[in-house]
Amino acid sequence: MRLTAFVAMILAMVNCGVLALAEDAPATRLFGGAQALDRFSADLYGHISGGKGNLVYSPLSIYSALMMTAAGARGATATEMSAVLGVADVASAEAQAADGALLGQLRKSDQDFQLHIASAIWAQEGFKCLPAFQSILENDYGAKVMGIDFRDPGRASGAINDWVAGETAGKITNLFSPESLAPDTRMVLANAIYFKADWQSPFLPGLTRDADFHVAGQANPSQTPMMRTRGVFLFSQDDQLQAIELPYRGGTVAMLILLPRSIDGLGNLESRLSAKFLADVVDGMQRGAVEAAIPKFKFSAQFGLAGKLKEMGMAAAFTPGRADFSGIDGQPDLFISEVEHKAFISVDEKGTEAAAATGIVMSPTAMMMPRMTFTADHPFLFLICDQSTGLVLFLGRVEDPKGS
């Protein structure tokens, strides 16, 4: 028997913006909590950031997708997944309840801010999950088990794609082709996140104008629409790096931009990226009056993660004969054959829109300071973080704002 488990976590961000923080607002500490996910975020970036071009992914999506799947891991498979995910016992009821509670804490909604999280499970008609596994997914993740016939891959992929698109306001579409689901697939697990929020104050479109952006590998700079604002922001700088935090309305989510001083300094910055490095940057921030300019950008990324997760130490889960996911259906003959991730982001004066999907395929076997200038006119890193939990929702780099 063959089990295919797809875990999709999609997070879309719309209408986010920037404005001065109040002078008496407390300095945020994005990375004070959720340390395991933050470490995973930075570690994974080190494995997927090779090569050139823009990059975006959702650490929360990938992490939670793996956590859901790990509820059925046993033996060495669970031990390796625990080490990579930074959890003492990834398959334990306590770990699963904690992850589910963290996702529940993220769910927020008002007229200015929405963070929607949903989960679903499709199982081959006649396939039986163990009651304990089904209970974890239903109680901790709110995922209902629905019957489907994977022997008709076209219809099955269409049904899952419709769910994904519906949960992400249409930002992630056609995630699966009929060919991507085998007729002997047994299960698809999906988790979707949708986030919509305004900047605390939108960038004024009248201030946006074309300016130079220095694209890696190009002799001449590219003319790129640069958005501008000024206000009081959390900000830090040293001889190698400038960092600024741009809050979204509601004050619980912010974009952190890390800009190397050197035009060609992105590679060095990426090599320094770690949870501790990020914590040090955030801890060193102070409020300052800043004139900020960042480019408008819009791009997507899609890649497989199986090989990267093996490199990080999760080899057993992907190895037939070694993998043990017997906590799913009582049989130790299931393994993860692939993890697919797809993400999208768009940033303009009004806000940010982003979406991501992760697929796991398993088969048998602060004080006032002088005015400063922050001009992101060359490659930089960005993070979108929930400040109340410390979770990294999105992480990526911009090498060319006009790139795809």
Within a domain: 18:
no
Within a domain: 278:
yes
Rounded to 5 degrees, φ, ψ at 146 are -120, 140
Residues 223 and 241 in one domain: yes
Quick check: 79 and 86 in contact, CB under 8 A?
no
* pLDDT at site 360: 63
Residues 392 and 251 in one domain: yes
d(CA 203, CA 352): 12
* pLDDT at site 2: 33
Quick check: 300 and 248 in contact, CB under 8 A?
no
Domain range enclosing 166: 35-198+298-364
Residues 47 and 191 in one domain: yes
Residues 276 and 134 in one domain: no
d(CA 120, CA 163): 9
d(CA 267, CA 351): 27
Within a domain: 161:
yes
Identify the bridge partners of residue 372 per DSSP, sorted by sequence position: 290
Proportion of the chain in helix, strand, coil states, percent, rounded to 5: 30, 35, 40
Within a domain: 10:
no
Within a domain: 106:
yes
d(CA 28, CA 253): 10
Residues 181 and 241 in one domain: no
d(CA 339, CA 62): 9
Within a domain: 9:
no
d(CA 160, CA 151): 14
Q: pLDDT per position in the chain (404 positions), as tens?
A: 333 333 333 332 222 222 222 222 333 333 333 688 889 999 999 999 988 899 988 888 888 889 989 999 999 999 999 999 999 899 999 999 988 888 887 776 666 666 777 777 788 888 888 999 999 989 998 888 789 998 998 999 899 889 888 887 887 777 777 887 888 777 777 767 676 777 776 788 889 999 999 998 788 999 999 999 888 889 999 999 999 998 888 778 889 999 999 999 999 999 999 989 998 999 999 998 999 999 998 888 888 888 999 999 999 998 988 999 999 999 888 787 777 777 778 787 776 666 666 666 555 554 444 468 999 999 999 999 888 777 888 899 999 998 87
Residues 151 and 54 in one domain: yes
Please give the DSSP secondary-structure letter assigned to residue 92: S
Residues 214 and 343 in one domain: no
Residues 151 and 244 in one domain: no
Residue type, 116: H
* pLDDT at site 312: 96
CATH code, domain with 389: 2.30.39.10
> Which residues have C-beta within 8 Å of that of residue 267, sequence separation ≥ 6?
none
d(CA 67, CA 69): 5
Within a domain: 385:
yes
C-alpha to C-alpha distances, 87 to 35, 65, 90, 274, 316, nearest whole angstrom? 10, 14, 5, 18, 17
CATH code, domain with 352: 3.30.497.10
d(CA 393, CA 202): 21
How many helices and strands in the chain, by DSSP H and E?
A: 10, 16
Residues 51 and 126 in one domain: yes
Structurally, the chain folds into a number of domains equal to 2
Residue type, 354: A
Residues 80 and 222 in one domain: no
Instruction: Give the three-class secondary structure for 233.
Output: strand
pLDDT tens, 62-90? Answer: 888 899 899 999 999 999 999 999 998 99
Residues 330 and 348 in one domain: yes
C-alpha to C-alpha distances, 324 to 2, 18, 47, 238, nearest whole angstrom? 13, 47, 25, 48
* pLDDT at site 178: 85
Q: What is the pTM (predicted TM-score) of this model?
A: 0.84
Residues 191 and 273 in one domain: no
Residue type, 340: E
Instruction: Give the three-class secondary structure for 107.
Output: coil
Residue 320 has a CB neighbour count (10 Å cut-off) of 12
Block residue for tokens 């190009």: 218
* pLDDT at site 230: 86
Instruction: Specify burial of residue 185 (Cβ count, 10 A radius: 0-12, 13-18, 19+).
Output: buried
